[in-house]
């Protein structure tokens, strides 16, 4: 009956007595549960967690389907009851930090509160049970909702039209650049290059490559901004477009945007706006008014649809007049009081076509429209204002302790570095991990790439001053601890169910799925 881990209870008692420090964000330790993989629970017997009508056994698949295509039960699948499945995911969930658990200032990701009412709305049977190919007469509610959302997003971004269909920000980028390409092709030459500042998110260059464009990276200036002369120097008639994130990933407004756009337009190029940071501008300024020709939204950022552990997102794309003919399909149109989807190329001969099956992530449309309707004009503007206020407050309260690589004004997020900690040997990664012990999700780290050791903090407007104050305390305590006890910081995290994980090993010997008998130790 000895414990196989070699651990002794008396050690545990002693240890427990000593480990109830409470982090700035409230973190302490409590019970968590180790949980095997579903597949490690065995698949004995015919246990199942579902309740289905019993198959009659009358129609025999062997009569119709070729024997070589028929499979027996899949032996490795689990055999669990509903309670076991409930416990499994309940326990797993406790290993996660979500917005609902605590502060989640993951820069560039706009981790704002996900309204629970939106979840209820997206699950209304009329929405949840609607087949995407329902005859339009049976889907007028969905269509009207899409129409309303399209109108609202166009107004919010300052463009005349928007496609809702892309499945995430990056697919929105892809769609946008496809339209740019189609635009140039229509003018006889797709062109070759896209200009992208060095602060850009990785999806921007990756998107261009997918479209067959060569990426020309532009250096941003010492103030963290892209300068018109830089663009002018790179701009020629081979350049299809420039992709600009505004505010950029440093949280800095590209204040030369109008001039840059003019430079690009003058040579026949188009200006793509990565709208991932739109939260900063909501109700305050509109990309469509700044010279952009096209931009994507990230509804899962700006419009609070849940991030879901990695997705799904939704990446509508707004365009200026000149790109409207190239919008992908489908498009919702209103004819009298009736709504209808335009799905066929023959109605939109210049359309780039379809980028996603059916119409897009409709479930996210419901949530985004719900938020827009709940906020109204004043609420949307307050969203932008308070998002920026929160970031600036954190910036002001931390800049004496953490290095601020750019003195330029911040909008919705602020980027610090680990430079001031250099003498202690504590790095950005260490700070991030130590914040976990305080009860915070770490900021985005080592991005944007132009900043060495970046710590990118985006609080969003849904956080209280109280939470920000606690986070500031935590950040300051970590900086302090870096001086007095750097090893303590480097040992972090200590409270989570797992200590730092060996990422090198994971990549060197990739184990990407369970197999019978799998051992990872």
Angle between helical axes of 362-398 and 140-157 (0-180°, round to 10): 30
Q: Between 34 and 63, whose beta carbon lies closer to a second copy?
A: 34
Show the binding pattern over residues 447-486: x = contacts another protein (CB under 8 A), - = does not: x-------------xxxxx---------------------
Q: Between 133 and 499, whose beta carbon lies closer to a second copy?
A: 499
Q: Rounded to an integer, what distance in angstroms lies between the CA atom of residue 195 and that of residue 82? A: 53
Q: Rounded to an integer, what distance in angstroms lies between the CA atom of residue 377 and that of residue 404? A: 34
Out of 389, 401, 404, 420, point to the residue binding another protein (CB under 8 A): 389
276-305 binders of another protein (CB under 8 A): 281, 283-286, 289-290, 298, 300, 304
Check: CB of residue 189 under 8 Å from CB of residue 218.
no
- Interface stretch with another protein, choices 317-325, 416-424, 451-459, 513-521 (CB under 8 A): 513-521
Check: CB of residue 248 under 8 Å from CB of residue 277.
yes
Taking the alpha carbons at both ends of the chain, their separation in whole angstroms is 23
**Strand blocks (E) in 376-432:** 414-416
Please state the closest distance from residue 451 (CB atom) to ligand PLP, in A.
14
The secondary structure of residue 312, as a DSSP letter, is -
Q: Between 479 and 492, whose beta carbon lies closer to another protein?
A: 492
Q: Between 101 and 140, whose beta carbon lies closer to a second copy?
A: 101
Out of 29, 35, 268, 404, point to the residue binding another protein (CB under 8 A): 35
Q: Is 521 among the residues that bind another protein (CB under 8 A)?
A: yes
Q: Between 67 and 423, whose beta carbon lies closer to another protein?
A: 67
Q: Between 219 and 483, whose beta carbon lies closer to another protein?
A: 219
Q: Is 434 among the residues that bind another protein (CB under 8 A)?
A: no
Q: Is 432 among the residues that bind another protein (CB under 8 A)?
A: yes
Q: Rounded to an integer, what distance in angstroms lies between the CA atom of residue 122 and that of residue 125? A: 8
Show the binding pattern over residues 216-245: x = contacts another protein (CB under 8 A), - = does not: ------------------------------
Q: Which helix (H) or strand (E) holds 202?
A: none
Q: Rounded to an integer, what distance in angstroms lies between the CA atom of residue 481 and that of residue 494? A: 15
Q: Rounded to an integer, what distance in angstroms lies between the CA atom of residue 105 and that of residue 120? A: 26
Q: Between 458 and 461, whose beta carbon lies closer to ligand PLP?
A: 458
Number of residues binding to another protein, judged by CB under 8 A: 219
* φ, ψ dihedrals at 249, nearest 5°: -75, 0
Q: Rounded to an integer, what distance in angstroms lies between the CA atom of residue 306 and that of residue 294? A: 25
Closest CA to 441 of 110, 112, 101, 115: 101
Q: Between 187 and 373, whose beta carbon lies closer to another protein?
A: 373
Q: Between 116 and 187, whose beta carbon lies closer to a second copy?
A: 116
Q: Is 89 among the residues that bind another protein (CB under 8 A)?
A: yes
Q: Rounded to an integer, what distance in angstroms lies between the CA atom of residue 182 and that of residue 163? A: 16
Q: Is 122 among the residues that bind another protein (CB under 8 A)?
A: yes
Please state the closest distance from residue 420 (CB atom) to a second copy, in A.
15
Please state the closest distance from residue 497 (CB atom) to another protein, in A.
6
The interface partner of residue 188, options being a second copy, another protein, ligand PLP, none and the CB cut-off 5 to 8 Å by kind, is none
Q: Is 11 among the residues that bind another protein (CB under 8 A)?
A: no
Check: CB of residue 394 under 8 Å from CB of residue 459.
yes
Instruction: State the burial class of residue 518 (Cβ atoms within 10 Å of its Cβ: 0-12, 13-18, 19+).
Output: exposed
Q: Is 392 among the residues that bind another protein (CB under 8 A)?
A: yes
Q: Is 152 among the residues that bind another protein (CB under 8 A)?
A: yes
* Three-class DSSP category at 329: strand
Closest CA to 295 of 313, 319, 269, 325: 319
- Interface stretch with another protein, choices 229-237, 318-326, 420-428, 443-451 (CB under 8 A): 443-451
Check: CB of residue 184 under 8 Å from CB of residue 190.
yes
Q: Rounded to an integer, what distance in angstroms lies between the CA atom of residue 316 and that of residue 356? A: 12
Check: CB of residue 317 under 8 Å from CB of residue 163.
yes
Q: Is 501 among the residues that bind another protein (CB under 8 A)?
A: yes
Residue number with the shortest CB distance to ligand PLP? 169
Out of 26, 212, 266, 321, point to the residue binding another protein (CB under 8 A): 212
> Which residues make up the interface to ligand PLP (CB under 6 A)?
108-109, 168-170, 201, 203, 245, 249, 274, 276, 298, 313, 315
Out of 29, 140, 265, 486, point to the residue binding another protein (CB under 8 A): 140
* φ, ψ dihedrals at 73, nearest 5°: -55, 150
Q: Is 262 among the residues that bind another protein (CB under 8 A)?
A: no
Angle between helical axes of 465-484 and 362-398 (0-180°, round to 10): 50
């Amino acid at each position: 009956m000895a414990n196989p881990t070699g651990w002794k209870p008396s050690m545990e008692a002693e240890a427990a007595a000593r480990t109830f420090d409470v982090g700035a964000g409230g973190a302490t330790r409590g019970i968590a549960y180790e949980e095997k993989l579903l597949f490690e629970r065995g698949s004995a017997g015919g246990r199942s967690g579902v309740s289905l009508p019993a198959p009659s056994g009358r129609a025999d698949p062997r009569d119709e389907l070729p024997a070589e295509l028929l499979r027996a039960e899949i032996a490795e699948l689990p055999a669990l009851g509903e309670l076991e499945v409930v416990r499994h995911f309940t326990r797993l969930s406790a290993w996660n930090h979500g917005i609902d658990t605590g502060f989640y200032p993951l820069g560039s990701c706009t981790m704002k509160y996900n309204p629970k009412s939106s979840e209820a709305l997206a699950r209304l049977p009329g929405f949840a049970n609607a087949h995407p190919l329902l005859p339009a007469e049976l889907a007028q509610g969905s269509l009207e909702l899409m129409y309303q959302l399209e109108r609202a997003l166009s107004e919010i971004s300052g463009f005349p039209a928007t496609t809702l269909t892309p499945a995430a920000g990056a697919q929105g980028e892809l769609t946008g650049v496809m339209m740019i390409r189609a635009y140039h092709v229509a003018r006889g030459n797709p062109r070759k290059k896209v200009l992208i500042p060095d602060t850009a998110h990785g999806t921007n260059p990756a998107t261009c490559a997918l479209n067959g464009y060569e990426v020309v990276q532009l250096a941003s200036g010492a103030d963290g901004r892209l300068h018109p002369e830089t663009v002018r120097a790179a701009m020629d008639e081979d350049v299809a477009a420039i992709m600009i994130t505004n505010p950029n990933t440093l949280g800095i407004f590209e204040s030369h945007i109008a001039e840059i756009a003019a430079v690009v337009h003058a040579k026949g190029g188009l200006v793509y706006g990565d709208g991932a940071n739109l939260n900063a501008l909501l109700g305050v300024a509109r990309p469509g008014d700044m010279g952009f020709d096209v931009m994507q939204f990230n509804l899962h950022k700006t419009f609070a649809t849940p991030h879901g552990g990695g997705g799904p997102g939704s990446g509508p794309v707004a365009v200026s007049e000149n790109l409207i003919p190239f919008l992908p399909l489908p498009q919702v149109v209103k004819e009298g009081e009736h709504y209808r989807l335009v799905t066929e190329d023959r109605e939109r001969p210049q359309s780039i076509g379809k980028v996603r099956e059916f119409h897009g992530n409709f479930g996210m449309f419901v949530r985004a429209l719900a938020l827009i309707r709940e906020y109204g004009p004043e609420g949307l503007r307050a969203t932008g204002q308070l998002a920026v206020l929160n970031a600036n407050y954190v910036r002001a309260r931390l800049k004496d302790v953490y290095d601020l690589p750019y003195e330029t004004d911040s909008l919705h997020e602020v980027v610090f570095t680990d430079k001031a900690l250099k003498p202690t040997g504590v790095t950005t990664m260490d700070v991030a991990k130590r914040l976990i012990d305080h009860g915070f999700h770490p900021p985005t780290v080592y991005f944007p790439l132009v900043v060495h050791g970046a710590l990118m903090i985006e609080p969003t407007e849904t956080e209280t001053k109280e939470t920000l104050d606690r986070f500031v305390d935590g950040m300051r305590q970590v900086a302090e601890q870096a001086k007095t006890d750097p090893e303590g910081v480097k040992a972090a995290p200590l409270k989570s169910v797992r200590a730092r994980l060996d990422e090198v090993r994971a990549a060197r010997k990739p184990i990407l799925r369970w197999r019978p008998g799998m051992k990872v130790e």
